[in-house]
Amino acid sequence: MATGRTHRPATRSRGIPEATVARLPLYLRALTALSERSVPTVSSEELAAAAGVNSAKLRKDFSYLGSYGTRGVGYDVEYLVYQISRELGLTQDWPVVIVGIGNLGAALANYGGFASRGFRVAALIDADPSMAGKPVAGLPVKHTDELEAIIEDNGVSIGVIATPAGAAQQVCDRLVAAGVTSILNFAPTVLTVPDGVDVRKVDLSIELQILAFHEQRKAGEEAMAAPASPAPAVRGGTGGGKGPDGDVPAVMPA
Amino acid sequence: MATGRTHRPATRSRGIPEATVARLPLYLRALTALSERSVPTVSSEELAAAAGVNSAKLRKDFSYLGSYGTRGVGYDVEYLVYQISRELGLTQDWPVVIVGIGNLGAALANYGGFASRGFRVAALIDADPSMAGKPVAGLPVKHTDELEAIIEDNGVSIGVIATPAGAAQQVCDRLVAAGVTSILNFAPTVLTVPDGVDVRKVDLSIELQILAFHEQRKAGEEAMAAPASPAPAVRGGTGGGKGPDGDVPAVMPA
DNA sequence: CCATCTTTGTGCACACGTTCACAAAGACAT
DNA sequence: ATGTCTTTGTGAACGTGTGCACAAAGATGG
């Protein structure tokens, strides 16, 4: 545990901004679709529309990779697919392990998007002994005991955690100890990892909550002119009720 | 193409920055855990650690909600739980529909995090007639034909799309036409929606690709002594003989 | 070979987000 | 009451991301 570095330096990687990196897969997908339709070239305007972004942003993003376009024409689709793939590291094979083969883990194992882009599911791992050997998505589920061996034997550096929240940190620790340096976490927990290990979090309920916020705001604005009481059913829960604004709970900060 | 606005007006919600809204669920989760352990108050430092963020950021975030803390003491846990819940709109009941009951849809239906936070699965919908009536997570799967009726009858304003990419836009259009104004999209497609409809995207393979980028960088830095050019620096976990590495399309933009 | 037209690549200005650092506010002991 | 100690709330500096607008680069046609 080095004391020098702060926790998550967000690694402004090497001239390529993080925000750009996050969009490259988006461009890649749009380009792959064009490639399959044998479209030879595409303009920044068209590609941006397909990827759902602003064209100026797209051009700036690409400018970080180099000058791969041709003025007056656009971008060569095949060439760009290769360049982005290479930049993202998808020209090599990335073995991944998925830990926690519940509903979500099984869904991930079956998800075609993984295998199709340089990722290979090296193993499915679960703590439940009764799962061991059971085939999921064509692979036999391995027991947690084998975790370290699997990671070392396959040179796995990316791990996916789809366990319940309670087990996530423990699994994470073992993954890291065994050599994994990138983790995709689906468990609703904050993972603590040593420096040099990347963690990305996907949290289903957080996304819904963000939507609820905007939804509430929309409903509120809409009902501004209408009577004070909004239409949706009110869930008082503990009986606190949801009265008008001033009607806050009994508990005040002492 | 009713692309609508290309940029999000969401930022100006109500003085609360989008980045802050995205963190509120994180704080809420940490606070709920504290509440269950009957911790009465918490300092910004402690809570920030639990949520995995910087304490100054947390305080600034809370300052957008109001002055809910007590100097020299910290924040009252219960009070803050309520305030954040209310701000996020979780004090009311949000019926949601999940469309596409494959592996992922089933996982979502079973995911406890939904029900536990003001969200109620109103219905599971699938296009496959043979799924109809089959119970998933205790609910009978409905056929797509009933989509509009379900949404109207239940006052659903939030929809979750877990269909294959090809069906997503069509489902989206039907959801929107039926009255849904917020969509959580798990299909790897860019959805086009009219103004006033919010879409959030969760893309599993994109997250992995971002990890691969950083992983490649780490591997490259480690094994590189004299970086002269953006040389491929191929170094994978496997033996590497992954084929089309050297014989890449040397296609140049014509 | 020149004129025109299209589209890239980017300088610049602005908006948004993060972090620091510190004064103000309150708790608590004496 | 008064002083000390803790912790919030926030002004200000800084860094990152976004979008406009335009010059430069190249294609295309006469």
The residue length of chain B stands at 254
Residue A196 within a domain:
yes
Please check the confidence at residue B1 and state whether its pLDDT lies above 50.
no
| Residue among A200, A216, A254 minimizing CB distance to B211 | A200
A234 pLDDT above the threshold of 60: no
Best residue in A214, A245, A247 for a mutation probing chain B (most B CBs within 10 Å): A214
What is the DSSP-derived secondary structure letter of residue A233? P
CB contact under 8 A, A218 and B110: no
Asked whether residue A9 is assigned to any structural domain, the reply reads no
**Which of A61, A210, A221, A248 is the best residue to mutate to test the B interface, defined by the most B CB atoms within 10 Å of its own CB?**
A210
In a domain, A10, yes or no: no
Looking at the domain assignment, is residue A158 inside a domain?
yes
For residue A219, the number of C-alpha atoms closer than 13 Å in the C-beta half-sphere is: 24
Nearest CA in chain B to A231: B155
Question: What is the band of B116 on the pLDDT scale with cuts at 50, 70, 90?
Answer: confident
The spacing between the Cα labelled CA in A65 and the C1' in C21, in angstroms, equals 38
Domain finish residue from B52, B71, B88: B88
Answer yes or no: is pLDDT of A43 > 90: yes
Q: Which two tokens stand for residue B247?
A: 């014989």
Looking at the structure, tell me whether residues A110 and A196 fall in a common domain. Answer: yes
State the pLDDT confidence band at B112, using cuts at 50, 70 and 90: confident
What are the φ and ψ backbone dihedral angles of A19, each rounded to 5 degrees? -60, -35
Give, as ranges, the nucleotides of chain D with any atom within 7 Å of a protein CB: 5-11, 15-21, 24-28
pLDDT tens readout for residues B220-253: 766 654 444 444 433 333 333 333 333 334 344 4
pLDDT at A84: 98
Q: The domain that contains B142 carries what CATH number? A: 3.40.50.720
Helix/strand/coil percent split, chain A, to 5: 45, 15, 40
Count of domains for chain A:
2
Q: What confidence tier does B11 reach under pLDDT thresholds 50, 70, 90? A: very low
- Mean pLDDT of chain B, nearest integer: 86
Residue A159 and residue A192 share a domain: yes
Are B103 and B170 in a shared domain? yes
Q: Are residues B79 and B103 located together in one domain of the fold?
A: no
pLDDT band at B153 (very low <50, low <70, confident <90, very high): very high
A11 touches strand C (CB under 7 A): no
Convert A58-81 to b/e letters by CB count within 10 Å (16 or more is b).
bbebbeebeebbeeeebbbbbbbb
- B167-195: per-residue pLDDT in tens? 999 999 999 999 999 999 999 999 999 99
Same domain, A78 and A105: no
Of A69, A204, A240, the CB nearest to B253: A69
Are the Cβ atoms of A52 and B190 closer than 8 angstroms? yes
Chain A residues close to B19, C-beta within 8 Å = none
Identify residue A123 by its one-letter amino acid code: A
Of B60, B88, B116, which residue is a domain's last?
Answer: B88
Residues B137 and B104 in one domain: yes
Is the model's pLDDT at A48 over the cut of 80? yes
Q: Residue B57, CB, less than 7 Å from strand D?
A: no
B61 phi/psi in degrees, rounded to 5: -55, -50
Strand D atom within 7 Å of B54 CB: no
Both B107 and B139 in a single domain?
Answer: yes
**Number of other residues whose CB lies within 10 A of the CB of residue A230:** 15
Residues A52 and A29 occupy one common structural domain = yes
B119 vs A179: CA distance, rounded Å: 38
Q: Which helix (H) or strand (E) holds B82?
A: helix B77-88
Structure tokens at B248: 């890449």
Calpha distance B109→B97 (Å, rounded): 9
Strand arrangement of the beta sheet that strand A74-76 belongs to: A41-42, A74-76, A69-70
Is there a single domain that holds both residue A57 and residue A128? no
From CA B227, how far away is CA B217, in angstroms rounded? 12
Enclosing domain of residue A73: 18-88
**Amino acid B251: pLDDT:** 40
Q: Are A251 and B78 in contact (CB under 8 A)?
A: yes
Residue B76: Cβ-neighbour burial (10 angstroms; 0-12, 13-18, 19+)? buried
Strand C contacted by A62 CB (< 7 A): yes
**Exposed (0-12), middle (13-18) or buried (19+): which is A240, by Cβ within 10 Å?**
middle
- Answer whether residue B122 is part of any domain: yes
Same domain, B119 and B78: no
In a domain, A159, yes or no: yes
Q: Are residues A79 and A127 in the same domain?
A: no
Has residue B193 been placed in a domain? Answer: yes
Contacts of B27 (CB under 8 A, 6+ apart): B47, B51, B58, B61, B62, B80, B84
Please give the torsion angle defined by the CA atoms of residues B139, B141, B144 and B145, in that order, rounded to the nearest 10 degrees: -80
Q: Which of A210, A216, A236 sits opposite B22 (nearest CB)?
A: A210
Render pLDDT for B192-229 as a digit per residue (tens, 0 to 9). Answer: 999 999 999 999 899 999 999 999 999 876 665 444 44
- Examine the domain organization and report whether A72 and A161 are in the same domain: no
The reply to whether A33 has its C-beta less than 7 Å from any atom of strand C is no
Q: Does some domain include residue A248? A: no
CATH number, domain containing residue A57: 1.10.10.10
Structure tokens at B177: 């036409």
A65-CA/C11-C1' distance, Å: 18
CA angle A33, A35, A41 (to 5 degrees): 115
Last residue of a domain, one of B56, B73, B88: B88
What per-residue confidence (pLDDT) applies to A246? 34
| Complete DSSP assignment for B20-72 | HHHHHHHHHHHHHHHHHTT--EE-HHHHHHHHTS-HHHHHHHHHHH---EETT
Residue A79, pLDDT above cutoff 50: yes
Alpha helix ranges (H) inside chain A: 18-36, 44-51, 55-65, 77-88, 103-110, 112-115, 147-154, 165-178, 204-222
